[in-house]
Amino acid sequence: MEFIGFTYVTNFLEDTLRDAMFEVVDEANRLFDDWGLGVRFVYLDSLTLEPGYLINVKTPEGTVRLYPLEVLVDFLDYRLKVELEKNDEIEMNKILGLISFPLASRNRYFDFYESFLGFQTERVGRRIMVLSMRPFESDVLRMTLRTLESPHVEDEVKRLARRILSREIETFKGRLLKGILHEVGHAFGLEHCSNPCVMNPPATMAEWDSRPAVFCRSCMKKLEETVGEFTPSTPGRP
């Protein structure tokens, strides 16, 4: 069994989306089990970043304050190294960090803003993955969450918002699940493909919604060949 560390950045994250995020990661582990893949996510606790790391990014919607990719990669790499030092019996050289704000870089030549999917890099044999949940949130979902949080909205409107929320959250969870599977595929060497598959990158969010949350036969075969065979102790969620 090969384990992938999983964490998330608490900054700017709604409680409702955090709960949905955990459900999605659990669903990913269930799919790995159903597919007979020796891969599992292990929760490594959350990360909270200091305001001093924030940068301003100019976008078509105006200036957005967020944490740059370089800072995220540094913190995720450090978090993975700390975990490996605590428990050297776990075979784990990959970590996935989920964030609730857009991907952006200090380098103005790297345009990640509004990217649907994530970013990966490698440091001394450690694979660092960052995936933004922001593109998977519909405008309706964001507006519904704001409505439910407002103390000035009437109860009848909030009841309607809760009904809308249940539908929008399911859409969000489906998008995020496919995003996570896509990043896992890249982490184990899969390239983009043109089949009905999570490794087929979308041009629009509507295309992403139409993708099944599966690897095509060709990608699954490559994934099965690539996933290492390890026999470490099985950790549980803290």
Q: What is the pLDDT of residues 217-236, one digit of tens each?
A: 999 999 999 996 433 433 33
Kindly tell me if the per-residue pLDDT of 215 is higher than 50: yes
**What is the spatial distance between Cα 218 and Cα 190, in angstroms, rounded to a whole number?**
10
**pTM of the full predicted structure?**
0.89
Residue 237 pLDDT level (bands cut at 50, 70, 90): very low
Kindly tell me if the per-residue pLDDT of 59 is higher than 80: no
Which residues face 4 on adjacent strands?
41, 94
Question: Among residues 33, 137, 38, which one has the least CA distance to residue 92?
Answer: 38
Q: Domains plus CATH for the chain?
A: 2-226 (3.40.390.10)
Kindly tell me if the per-residue pLDDT of 188 is higher than 90: yes
Q: What average pLDDT does the chain have?
A: 89
Q: What percentage of the chain carries pLDDT values higher than 70?
A: 92
At 128 the pLDDT is: 97
Distance set, CA 3 to CA 96, 127, 131, 143 (Å) = 11, 12, 18, 36
Kindly tell me if the per-residue pLDDT of 117 is higher than 60: yes
At 230 the pLDDT is: 39
Alpha helices in the chain, H assignment, sequence order: 15-35, 69-86, 139-149, 155-187, 205-210, 217-226
Kindly tell me if the per-residue pLDDT of 87 is higher than 80: no
Q: Which residues contact 135 (CB under 8 A, 6 or more apart)?
A: 102, 114, 115, 116, 205
Higher pLDDT among residues 232 and 111, named by residue: 111
Read off the pLDDT of residues 169-187 as tens digits, 9 standing for 90 and up: 999 999 999 999 999 999 9
Kindly tell me if the per-residue pLDDT of 238 is higher than 50: no
Beta pairing, strands 2-8 & 94-99:
parallel
At 25 the pLDDT is: 98
Kindly tell me if the per-residue pLDDT of 77 is higher than 90: yes
Kindly tell me if the per-residue pLDDT of 96 is higher than 50: yes
Query: Which tokens go with 7?
Result: 């964490």
Higher pLDDT among residues 157 and 64, named by residue: 157
Kindly tell me if the per-residue pLDDT of 109 is higher than 60: no
Question: Among residues 49, 48, 50, 124, which one has the least CA distance to residue 84?
Answer: 124
Residue 122 pLDDT level (bands cut at 50, 70, 90): very high
At 113 the pLDDT is: 57
Q: Are 118 and 107 in contact (CB under 8 A)?
A: no
Residue type, 4: I
Average pLDDT over residues 163-170: 95
Query: Which tokens go with 39?
Result: 């891969």
**What is the spatial distance between Cα 159 and Cα 171, in angstroms, rounded to a whole number?**
19
At 62 the pLDDT is: 79
Query: Which tokens go with 156?
Result: 């009848």
Average pLDDT over residues 71-81: 95
φ, ψ at 65 (rounded to 5°) = -95, 130
